């Protein structure tokens, strides 16, 4: 919504458990639909795919891609493979997190980011890069995290959603 004002955000598939919990906690701050049935199909003129180019990951949203007059924009960090969706606009960069690409766009456009948004963006980068430890992490990812921090990202909140201690039940299973 930062990059596409007026857009309706729709999750097409599964979220990681920690991101899903964060989004559930802040559902009032982010107007996100859980499925295509919640949006008026006849009003869709653009589909923006984030973190995927795979038709199989889109569920019912895939039906919009063949609708006449619908533009497709793709932002992803996964390498292209045969059968991937093609977009009218594509930014596919080999960075550790697709969120990094979005943060760079926000920075280029000098868009304001509040602390809650910065925290969500930081969570996205840390989640995809293993807290900047995965070998796919790039300097661009670290620069994007620095931007989120300079805009008030709360690392305590990020840590709460990334580092989940094992429950007693999980510890007991490990001992068995």
Per-residue pLDDT 10s for the chain (176 aa) are: 899 998 888 876 666 677 778 777 877 787 777 777 788 888 889 999 999 998 888 887 888 888 899 999 999 999 999 989 999 999 999 999 999 999 999 999 999 999 999 999 999 999 999 999 999 999 999 999 999 999 999 999 999 888 655 556 655 555 55
Is there a contact between 97 and 125 (Cβ–Cβ < 8 Å)?
yes
pLDDT at 175: 54
pTM of the model: 0.86
Is there a contact between 35 and 64 (Cβ–Cβ < 8 Å)?
no
């Amino acid at each position: 919504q930062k990059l596409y004002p007026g857009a309706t955000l729709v999750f097409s598939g599964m979220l990681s458990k920690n991101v899903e919990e964060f989004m559930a906690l802040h559902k009032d701050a982010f107007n996100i639909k859980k499925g295509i049935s919640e949006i008026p199909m006849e009003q869709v003129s653009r589909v923006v795919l984030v973190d995927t180019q795979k038709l199989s990951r889109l569920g019912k949203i895939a039906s919009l891609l063949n609708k006449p007059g619908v533009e497709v924009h793709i932002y992803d960090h996964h390498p292209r493979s045969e059968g991937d969706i093609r977009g009218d606009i594509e930014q596919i960069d080999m960075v550790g997190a697709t969120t990094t690409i979005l943060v760079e766009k926000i920075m280029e456009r000098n868009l304001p980011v509040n602390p809650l948004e910065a925290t969500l963006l930081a969570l996205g980068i840390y989640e995809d890069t293993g807290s900047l430890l995965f070998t796919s992490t790039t300097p661009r990812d670290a620069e994007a995290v620095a931007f989120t921090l300079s805009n008030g990202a709360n690392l305590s909140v990020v840590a709460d959603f990334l580092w989940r201690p094992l429950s007693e039940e999980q510890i007991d299973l490990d001992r068995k």
